[in-house]
Structure 1
Amino acid sequence: MASRTASGSTVVDASPAEVFALLADPRRHAEIDGSGTVQRVVSAPERLELGSEFSMAMRMGARYRVTNRVVEFEADRLIAWRHVGLHRWRYELEPATGGTRVTETWDATRYPRPAFWVLRAMGFPATAQRCIDGTLRQLEERFGTDG
């Protein structure tokens, strides 16, 4: 079966705590969104934690709203959320020479085969890979890189 994930990594010139502070603040997600779909926060806590829900105004052609729930969380190391779909957007942080290695993953491994093929027909995971690449570039621009 075709891959059910997309992933990418970069090293940014910031501590894991600095990067995590940005990821855990949904009011700032539009600043780093590599897809161009995240417009603004609709409702959210100031800082995400396991189980937090946050709603975002989105635009992909038409405007819409999506509510996410944090489903994985380890302060300064890991955060992942999902909406009504079963796929997750996950960020893993680890100290690295020159700062922090940020790995972003789109994970659709929880979908049963028939539902995953619907995502494939919509262009995933290739679409997710382009979004990840864009987000990692945004993080590099925000924090700088080791290079």
Structure 2
Amino acid sequence: MTTVREPRPSAYLITRERLIDAPAGRIFEVLATPSLHSVIDGSDTVKGEQPNGPKRLALGARFGMDMSMGASYRILNTVTEFEEGRRIAWRHFSRHTWRYILEPRGDATLVTEQWDARDVPFKLVLRLAGFTRRHPESIEKTLAKLEEHVAG
């Protein structure tokens, strides 16, 4: 039996979960499809995928997104964790990670979303910019939109 150690609580690791009445495979397809990220984004900052990226993500895949947070910009992400149907995570130049963990629960799936900035060297900037305050609500909205998309 493997023991899984829970991460230490941190303002730079924000975790929310939601039980969604849909199979893990259906949910994972949404998360692994960059063109759907703007559909489920609860922060309203993800505006769409950039052309010429992968249609479906895999470990090491690089994909660009059009973003807007006051001003429009583009961001290039790299998939850093990938377990088909179970786990996917990506990060960009600032080194914070967006992670999704899927745990089947009968006909439903427990979806955990994490914003993990524990490895970011300039954590204070993230806090001063308000990310640690805004992300809990944004993550909850993302999980609600994800549920609506896959179960609706």
**TM-score, with length taken from structure 2:** 0.88
Is the 2:26–2:150 contact (alpha carbons within 8 Å) kept by the matching residues of 1? no
Give the 4+ runs in structure 1 shifted more than 6 A: none
Q: For the aligned residues, what is the CA RMSD?
A: 1.6
- Give matches, 1:55-94, under 5 Å: 55-94=64-103
Partner of 1:24: 32
Matched residue SS, 2:110? strand
Aligned residues: 143
Q: CA deviation at 1:2?
A: 5.4
- Report the CA distance between 1:127 and its aligned residue: 1.6
Contact 1:32 1:135 in 2 (8 A): yes
Shift of 1:144: 3.5
Unaligned stretches of 5+ residues in structure 1: none
Structure 1 residue aligned with 2:104: 95
Aligned equivalents of 2:19 and 2:38: distance in 1?
20
Q: Distance in 2 between matches of 1:71 and 1:2?
A: 21
Residue 56 of structure 1: how far off its partner (Å): 0.7
Structure-1 residue corresponding to 2:55: 46
Letter in 1 for 2:145: Q
Q: State the 1:7 CA deviation.
A: 1.1
TM-score normalised to structure 1 length: 0.91
Q: Please say if residues 23 and 107 of structure 2, whose CA atoms lie closer than 8 Å, have aligned partners that are also in contact.
A: no
Measure the CA separation in 2 of the matches of 1:91 and 1:83: 16
For 1:124 and 1:58, locate their aligned partners in 2 and report how far apart those are by CA, in whole Å: 15
The answer for the alignment partner of 1:6 in structure 2 is 14
Task: Report if the CA contact (8 A) 2:46-2:68 is conserved.
Answer: yes
Distance change in 2, residues 1:2/1:15 (3 Å) = closer
